[in-house]
């Protein structure tokens, strides 16, 4: 299991890719989500997985860990499911 964050220059926008057999950028990935960073905060949105359960607690923790390594201290996660929007704020 692995995740990779690709940032797009100094725009503050990035994308996370990963999966159960993912080891490095370029590998086949089974989930993806978008990031918008401002300072030490990030907004995580538009997550998509190839199958139910592919985006799980371990993936969440792995992403949080990677964000913490680059100085992100607070993350706001957006989840849309069946027209129901949930917002979760966490410290990385």
pLDDT for 52 equals: 83
Exposed/middle/buried for 62, CB within 10 Å: 0-12, 13-18, 19+? middle
pLDDT digits (tens, 9 = 90+) for 3-32: 999 999 999 999 999 888 888 888 888 899
Whether the pLDDT of residue 1 is over 80: the answer is: no
pLDDT digits (tens, 9 = 90+) for 37-91: 999 999 999 988 888 888 888 888 989 999 999 999 999 999 887 888 889 999 8
Write down the residue that tokens 């990030």 correspond to. 42
pLDDT for 80 equals: 81
**What pTM value is reported for the model?**
0.86
Instruction: Report how far residue 51's alpha carbon sits from residue 70's, in angstroms, rounded to the nearest whole number.
Output: 29
């Amino acid at each position: 299991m692995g995740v990779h964050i690709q940032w797009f220059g100094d725009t503050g926008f990035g994308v996370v890719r990963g999966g159960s057999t993912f080891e490095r950028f370029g590998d086949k990935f089974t989930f993806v989500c978008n990031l918008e960073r401002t300072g030490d905060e990030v907004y995580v949105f538009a997550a998509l997985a190839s199958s139910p359960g592919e985006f799980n607690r371990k993936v969440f923790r792995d992403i949080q860990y990677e964000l913490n390594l680059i100085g992100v201290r607070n993350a706001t996660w957006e989840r849309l499911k069946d027209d129901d929007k949930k917002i979760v704020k966490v410290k990385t």
